[in-house]
Amino acid sequence: MRYMLDTDTVSFLIKGKSLAIKNRLEALAPSQVCISVMTRAELQFGLKRLPGGHRLHLAVRQFFKIVRALPWDVEASDWYADIRHQLVSTGRTIGEMDMMIAAHSLSAAAVLVTNNLRHYERIAAPLILENWT
Say whether pTM exceeds 0.85: yes
Q: Is pLDDT at 129 greater than 80 in this prediction?
A: yes
Give the domain CATH number at 119. 3.40.50.1010
pLDDT in tens, 58-100: 999 999 999 999 999 999 999 999 999 999 999 999 999 999 9
CA distance 83 to 34: 21
Res 123 pLDDT > 90: yes
- 1, 33, 60, 70 from 103: Cα distances, Å: 17, 16, 24, 12
Can you give the residue range of the structural domain that contains 109?
3-130
**Average model confidence (pLDDT) for the chain?**
95
If one counts the domains in the chain, the total is 1
